[in-house]
Amino acid sequence: MSSFINNGLSGLLAAQRALQVTSNNVANSMTEGYARQRVEFAERPSQVAGGGLAIGNGVGISGINRVYDQFVADELKGATSSQQRAQTVSDLAGRVDNLLGNPDSGISQSVQSFFSQAEALNRDPTSAVNRQQLLAEGNSLAQRFGQLDNQLGRINGEINGRLQEGVNRINGIAESLANVNDRIAGSTVSNPNDLLDEQERLLNELSGLVDFNAVRQTNGSLNVMVGTGQPLVLNNSAFKLETVQNEFDGTKLELGYQGKSISGTLSGGEMAGLLAFRNDILDGSRQELGQLALGITEVFNAQHRQGMDLDGEMGGDFFAAVQPTSTPSANNSGTASLGVAIGDASAVEARDYILRYTGSAWELMDANTQAPVAMSGSGTAGDPLVAEGLEIVTGAGADAGDRFRITAASAASTNVGVVLTDPRGIAAASPLASAVSLSNLSAATISNATVDDLANPNLLRSVEIRFDNPTTYRIFDTGGTDLSGPQAYTAGSDISFQGFTVQINGAAGTGDSFTVNAAGPGSGDNSNALALSEIGATGFFNNGELSITNVGANLVANVGSAAARANNELSVQTLLRDQAELDVESISGVNLEEEAVNMLRYQEAYLAASKIINVANDLFQTLIGVVGR
């Protein structure tokens, strides 16, 4: 009889526990991070009755376990890290695209307006209004470069702030994980499901910020490592991440651990997204914007110096000259410094460099990709290191491993400025005027003179090109002195002399003469204004293959392409994360319909067990009544 009653009681208690677990599942069906629980029933050991018969002894509960798959859960964490990285890059890339690619406020419109005004000056080179307006457009262009660089700089500042905020959140999560670890390790319950759920929720939150490796211990606690194995959580101890300054640029923060940067070791989470965007898109955009600024400055200045202003003076710089910079690493132990100058602006690339001393020689590499960059020279003032348009003079005192960051283009956009203030100083005219003598009998013509050597002291000296016969000419000064001696003539070939070049086309006759004179003050010539208006579309960078207009278009296209790629990557990673989330939900999520079925099943089991107890009680009462008679 006692066995009969025990069976009923065990079934009653087991059904009651199962109903409690099911009700808890239902109550937490909307709780984030909750893994549904399942009752594990186990048959009690049988009792041996008379005749060697084994009689069942009821049911027991062997455990209340979380329905959880470690591999699927880890897949979700990895997908979350990748998705958050892609989300961060996509959001920020879209903002840079809107900033630089906007047809109304982007840099392309300002560049176009500037060269359009140069064209207006070409049409009327003596117009005071056109000259004043060209200065105004130049100042507007310079201001736009500065504004865009400033706005990109503010995005860099935002990244710094978000990195610091992220570090604080990561450290807070690490503290919470260490606390949960301690409570799990000290728990008297074999499966502290609520603590394990909290542990999993914290890991999921951490995965959105940074990628990590987690190792579960036998006592249920977790060790969490970031980077290349730096411990963030060990049992009940939490360690802190921090922000450290970039070794070359104090305005850039990086993720650090115990004073060392670990930024290069991160591949997932919001922190990796911020760093990847800054390195791959933001810095690249500033470098391309700087290359555009450098190109306009160098090309326009070079052409402007070849012209003559309204006062008869040779043109000077229109824009302020741009100088590259070098910054030593904060980790350098030597005392060397660098001198960097632009030797050939047309060869300057839109990238920064790292110059490193090996102990016996200097080596140059791309600052972003670490790819080696070809370089020649010894580094002395007489024989500087030369690479991609830069000339580098290295000072003494470098120790092995010392590094310098060289910024050629990215600093240019912050330094663009118009140094010319007087509209009369705009050199719209050619400094030399070539002419055909009215007494010539042939139909030969002479081209406009082009300046080859501004430093030639005789550049503006008036000369006469006089033909001894159809195949020979001489060059005389205004006093009739023969300056050249007899020279062979070929129609259309260059005639270069005292810093200028002209071409005489056609069959010249004996006694024909042509003059090349200084233009003088008040010249209405527009030759240099025409050249100034055309240089935007003239090949300059990459061995003459890229014009200023090309560089501007490439800047917009590259930023737009990067934003499109980032958006596509986000779409892919979002799909992968959604699928991983569905996989976890299908295993650990609460299905209310399933729980309703379980509720009915356990309720029926409870009622049946109650009936067994009632029957046992009736039988017991009958037995007592029989014995008592």
pLDDT at 1 over 60: no
Residue 208 has a pLDDT of: 96
- Burial classification of residue 88, based on how many CB atoms lie within 10 Å of its CB (0-12 exposed, 13-18 middle, 19 or more buried): buried
Give the mean pLDDT of the chain.
Answer: 92
pLDDT at 528 over 80: yes
Please give the average per-residue pLDDT across 39-62, as a whole number: 80
pLDDT at 204 over 60: yes
Of the chain, the percentage scoring pLDDT greater than 70 comes to 98
Residue 178 has a pLDDT of: 96
Report field, pTM of the whole predicted structure over 0.85: yes
Residue 576 has a pLDDT of: 96
Residue 411 has a pLDDT of: 79
Distance of alpha carbon 372 from alpha carbon 510, whole angstroms: 61
Distance of alpha carbon 391 from alpha carbon 393, whole angstroms: 7
Q: Where are the alpha helices (DSSP H) in 208-277?
A: 269-277
Residue 512 has a pLDDT of: 95
Name the pLDDT band for 629 (thresholds 50, 70, 90): low
Q: Specify the residue for token string 């959580």.
A: 233
Residue 50 has a pLDDT of: 63
Ranking 52-66, 435-449, 545-559 by mean pLDDT, the lowest is: 52-66
**Cβ-proximal residues to 241 (8 Å cutoff; 6+ apart), any chain:** 167, 170, 171, 210, 226, 232, 255, 256, 257
DSSP letters of 72-132?
HHHHHHHHHHHHHHHHHHHHHHHHHHHHHH-TTTSHHHHHHHHHHHHHHHHH-TT-HHHHH
Picking from 99, 75, 83, 224, the residue whose alpha carbon sits closest to that of residue 152 is 99
Ranking 80-84, 88-92, 174-178, 613-617 by mean pLDDT, the lowest is: 613-617
More confident residue, 419 or 413: 419
Residue 51 has a pLDDT of: 66
> For 295-326, how does the pLDDT look when each residue is reduced to its tens digit (9 = 90+)?
999 999 999 999 999 999 999 999 998 889 99
Contact 489, 435 (CB under 8 A): no
Residue 533 has a pLDDT of: 93
Residue 323 has a pLDDT of: 86
> For 324-353, how does the pLDDT look when each residue is reduced to its tens digit (9 = 90+)?
999 999 999 999 999 999 999 889 998 999
Distance of alpha carbon 496 from alpha carbon 484, whole angstroms: 11
Residue 628 has a pLDDT of: 62
**Dihedral, CA of residue 605, residue 610, residue 616 and residue 622, to nearest 10:** -140
pLDDT at 49 over 80: no
Name the pLDDT band for 5 (thresholds 50, 70, 90): confident
**Dihedral, CA of residue 470, residue 475, residue 480 and residue 481, to nearest 10:** -130
pLDDT at 535 over 80: yes
Rg, Å, the chain Cα set: 41
Ranking 100-104, 133-137, 183-187, 375-379 by mean pLDDT, the lowest is: 100-104
Name the pLDDT band for 207 (thresholds 50, 70, 90): very high
Residue 328 has a pLDDT of: 94
pLDDT at 584 over 80: yes
Distance of alpha carbon 218 from alpha carbon 550, whole angstroms: 63
Residue 542 has a pLDDT of: 84
Distance of alpha carbon 355 from alpha carbon 390, whole angstroms: 12
DSSP state of 378: -
pLDDT at 627 over 80: no
pLDDT at 2 over 70: no
Instruction: Compute the residue count for the chain.
Output: 629
Domain boundaries, the chain: 2-67+592-627, 72-102+148-284+547-582, 432-518
Backbone angles phi, psi at 452, to 5 degrees: -105, -35
Distance of alpha carbon 462 from alpha carbon 431, whole angstroms: 11
